[in-house]
Structure 1
Amino acid sequence: MKRCFLYVLICMLLFSFHFVSMAEDPLVEADALFEKGDIASILESIPLYIKAVKANPNSYEGNWKCARAHREYANLNLEQELEGWKDVCKKYGKDGMRYGKKAKELEPEKIEGHYYYGLCVASYSDGVSILKALKEGLKGSTQKAFYKAYEIDKMFEDGGPMLAIARFWHQLPFPLRNKRRAQKYFEEHHEYFPDDPQGLVYFAELLIDRRKKDEARPLLEKAVAGDEPYYSKWAKELLEKL
């Protein structure tokens, strides 16, 4: 009987220790907030991710998740067109780049560091302009990051690397822009994810730019009927201009 009681007591102590450890782990707490998905919770998760990275600077998981949270917060500000969104993109995009860069240096054969580094640069560019980002020499590192992500797993995050490369080549200013290369990756992404609202709008924009309005129209019509308000609105505006 005493042995049984002792066994139960030890199990309870171990469980309590595990529970307390989880509660005190800023990474676990940050993940729980991030997974809620709303802009306030994602903002709240960022200082916890930073705390986790400070406690363990060489944590790959901590660094890439910190970069991801910065990117997501910046992007939600843009999509919801909140006041001061450009300043938010500038700050959180730039801060996120640092964590993404660290992550890809720690684990160069894993995808998250490369992918979220590139997206943080994209958010930073949304805030300061693509031209300024180019002047700061960010083209090469961004291109390399997206292509490495594509090489590792082009299907990651609903084909994110394919879409990122396509958008990258379309958004660069002349003479760096490469519409044919952009279309190649848009077509590949569309083959795998034909109903993705973001992909539909981005691809349609390129087709319009290439004077292929008849091909762009059905993509925009599908995006308008999609479940993402930001891209539905954008698609509707583009349709009205056709």
Structure 2
Amino acid sequence: MRLILLALSLLVAWPVQAAPPELLASLDALYARRADASASKELEASLKKELQAAPDDYELIWRSARLLTWQGDVAQDSRLKKVLGKQAWDRCEQGVKLAPARVECQYYAALGIGTYSQAVGIVKALGEGLEGKFNERLDAAIRIDPDFDFGGPVVIKGRYHFELPWPKRNLAESAKLLERAAAKFPQNLRAHAYLAETLLKDGKAAKAKESIVKVKQGSTAYNPAEAQLVQERSKKVEAEIEEELK
């Protein structure tokens, strides 16, 4: 009986994959090329088609949310960013119900909430009670697999402590988490870029420069679209650091 119960619990935590491996590999290959508008459009269309046929396929759900969070991150219009963040969040809430022991939807739900919060404004998001929901999902991701996405859950937790308004902001905790992620995943340029911002805000411009140099000189091979985006965005922080060091 105990073996039967164990088998049933595993089935709940790890739902049967409906999408064939070759389809998932194709979707992942398109995602790797997402900085190309045509590849991103093709991926969006493919995910929409596949989810219409298999709306409860966890592997499709989290990959769809992954694309939505990317689109929300790069969106310039706050209204579009808000919509995309909410879509990613909602999609992953469905995924969490299907597979609460999997890291992907816990992580991308947190990213979706974060994107939505940035769009509406952090203070307003706090007023809407989103901080607890964000931390519930992100802390679950950290418990399940803090190394997912090159230490992504830890990086986002570090950024969370930076983004909060005074008096909730905690630069020391932000730096500690970002240093931890950057040490374990030195290829993760976002970890270094966020660390540079935290250090600069904390009055440590010289140390911030060390981190921003790692962004500027870092390889993009681990995740070209992500890394190139971070390098472009880091130019503003680099200029602020240089101004502070004059």
- How is 1:5-84 mapped onto 2 (pairs within 5 angstroms)? 30-31=27-28, 33-40=30-37, 41-77=39-75, 84=76
Q: Which moved more, 1:133-142 or 1:227-236?
A: 227-236
* 8 Å Cα contact 1:220-1:238 kept in structure 2: no
What is the deviation of 1:162? 1.0
Amino acid aligned to 2:113: V
Amino acid aligned to 1:76: V
CA gap of 1:53–1:132, structure 2 versus 1, over 3 A, is farther
Q: Which has the larger radius of gyration?
A: 1
Q: Which moved more, 1:97-106 or 1:220-229?
A: 220-229
Provide Cα deviations, 1:197-227, integer angstroms capped at 9, x if missing partner.
2211211111122222222221122323335
Count of equivalent residues: 214
What is the deviation of 1:27? 6.7
* 8 Å Cα contact 1:224-1:235 kept in structure 2: no
What is the RMSD of the two structures over their aligned residues, measured on CA atoms?
2.5
Which of 148, 158, 167 is 1:156 aligned to? 148
Amino acid aligned to 2:180: E
Partner secondary structure for residue 200 of structure 1 = helix
What is the deviation of 1:131? 2.0
What is the deviation of 1:239? 2.2
Q: Which moved more, 1:190-199 or 1:162-171?
A: 190-199
TM-score, L = length of structure 2: 0.76
Provide Cα deviations, 1:44-65, integer angstroms capped at 9, x if missing partner.
4224323333333322112111
Provide Cα deviations, 1:60-96, integer angstroms capped at 9, x if missing partner.
112111111111122233xxxxxx4323311211111
What is the deviation of 1:157? 0.9
Superposed structure 1 runs of 4+ greater than 4 Å apart: 25-32
* 8 Å Cα contact 2:102-2:144 kept in structure 1: yes
Which protein has greater RCO, CA pairs closer than 8 Å, 6+ apart? 2
Q: Which residue of 1 aligns with 2:232?
A: 230
What is the deviation of 1:168? 1.0
Q: Give, in whole Å, the separation in 1 of the partners of 2:131 and 2:53.
A: 32
Q: Which residue of 1 aligns with 2:116?
A: 124
Q: Which residue of 2 aligns with 1:99?
A: 91
What is the deviation of 1:194? 3.1
CA gap of 1:235–1:221, structure 2 versus 1, over 3 A, is farther
Amino acid aligned to 1:204: A
CA gap of 1:39–1:75, structure 2 versus 1, over 3 A, is farther
Partner secondary structure for residue 74 of structure 1 = helix
